[in-house]
Amino acid sequence: MLARPFICSAGGPLSRLIARSNQLPLAFPRKEFFSSNAHLKQEPNNTTEPDPKKQRRRNNRLPAAPTSLRRVAVEAQRSKDGFLSKAFLKEQGLNQKTVTAYAVAEQFNIRKVRDILQEKGYEPDPLETGLFPQVVHVQIPIDSIRRVANPSSTDIPSDEVGDVFVFPSGTVVAWSLPEGFTSFLATRTLLPAAEGAHDVETEDLDFVEDPNRENSLIKGDTIVLGTNPRHSHGQSIDTVLTKVAFSSGLARSTKLAVLESLLSNYIESTRPIPTLLSKGSRLPFTRDFILRKTGQLLSVRAQLNLYSELTDSLPDLFWDSEHELGLEGYYEQAGRALDVGIRIKLLNEKMDYAQEIASVLRERLSETHGLRLEWIIILLIAVEVGFEVMRLWKERIREQEENARMEENQT
């Protein structure tokens, strides 16, 4: 089913870079795109690198204090259950991995995405889930990636694969794949299919595969993926569909983080306005500035409430699916774990505040425009009065001349 020996051409330049610098696999400098990922923004010259498992990405959630109540609750739950403790994972032989979402564009041309991946040698929808065009799924042999940097390696399972899901919303979600490979795939390989590319936003969750479970769930910030096979051949299609559901929830959260960043930048740009109003100062903003800010706010609000599935309780992906596996439950679990509902509510409240600022600017623009029209009307009236006075003055002069001429004729 999978052409394992094939290596995607997207990793070609990457492999040569690794071979020359003798670095870890796919750990190349990433300075050509923005990311909120603290690990991706790390300077390559650092000699002491923290454990990648300990260095977490910024989860785009509710602003909180350094020790938030939610974090305390999560840690308490972990301690209480003991299921996700490192000791338990080691005892059960469960390897903790990472699923990462990259939001790189407003949307993907999903058919171009499929064509690009086929050109690179990947097989779209290898398990025939039938979810295209709601999502494009490919599987990538992990050993083919790692052997590029370490050809002599013999301890890599030959059947281990990583899953990549590409959503039309402009988001790429990767399971078990190296960060460098996935970021290159999302920001370079799929760039021709991106529409409205923007700064990269990333978010991740840990996950473990439990072969003793058939169902899956989220505990704290970790996905427990039940991989008990229901079929005798390879990776179960049920497991892939479960990953699709969790990936859709994670992609939704990452897309929401993009809008949160846009709104934060908008509010920061209008921060001086309340201070100027409180001081009774004149607002030094032009008509173009006010119209531009109004348009930016309307664009963010439309992306949240109109042009995406962010506020939908269940995306079309699950309505159109012929599979009955309780996938909507996994999607909702991801939303709850990532505080999506609360973040959407908070985002709308911030938009209401920003809307008030925009209303003040529009009122000021209207007042300025009205005042300008009033002065124009006054000026026109003054000019008309001036012309009328001049006409009357000329008529009076003409009458005086005629009277003087008549008196001369009489004498």
Residues 184, 268 within the same domain: no
* Residue 319, domain member (yes or no): yes
* Residue 3, domain member (yes or no): no
* Residue 408, domain member (yes or no): no
Residues 244, 349 within the same domain: no
Residues 199, 239 within the same domain: yes
Residues 158, 288 within the same domain: no
Please count the structural domains in the chain.
2
Residues 220, 275 within the same domain: no
Residues 20, 150 within the same domain: yes
153 vs 338, more confident: 338
Q: Give the tens place of pLDDT for each residue, 189-201.
A: 999 999 999 999 9
* Residue 81, domain member (yes or no): yes
* Residue 121, domain member (yes or no): yes
Among residues 220, 254, 288, the one where a domain terminates is: 254
Residues 297, 235 within the same domain: no
Using a pLDDT cut of 90, give the percent of the chain over it.
40
Residues 235, 314 within the same domain: no
Residues found in the chain: 411
179 vs 87, more confident: 179
Among residues 211, 229, 254, the one where a domain terminates is: 254
Containing structural domain, residue 219: 9-51+71-254
Residues 138, 81 within the same domain: yes
Residues 183, 93 within the same domain: yes
Residues 231, 332 within the same domain: no
- Tell me what the mean pLDDT of segment 124-140 comes to: 90
Contacts of residue 75, Cβ cutoff 8 Å, sequence gap at least 6: 220
Residues 155, 75 within the same domain: yes
Contacts of residue 342, Cβ cutoff 8 Å, sequence gap at least 6: 62
* pLDDT tops 90 at residue 249: yes
Q: What is the pLDDT of residue 18?
A: 38
Q: How high does pLDDT run on average in the chain?
A: 77
Q: Give the tens place of pLDDT for each residue, 251-269.
A: 999 999 999 999 999 999 9
* Residue 377, domain member (yes or no): no
Q: Which residue has the tokens 């209401």?
A: 352
Q: Give the tens place of pLDDT for each residue, 45-79.
A: 443 444 444 444 444 444 434 444 545 555 555 45
* Residue 1, domain member (yes or no): no
147 vs 122, more confident: 122
Among residues 190, 223, 254, the one where a domain terminates is: 254
Tokens of 361: 């600017």
Query: What is the spatial distance between Cα 237 and Cα 366, in angstroms, rounded to a whole number?
Result: 60
Q: What is the pLDDT of residue 152?
A: 52
44 vs 85, more confident: 85
* Residue 29, domain member (yes or no): yes
Give the Å distances, CA to CA, from 98 to 162, 173, 249, 326. Answer: 11, 11, 15, 23
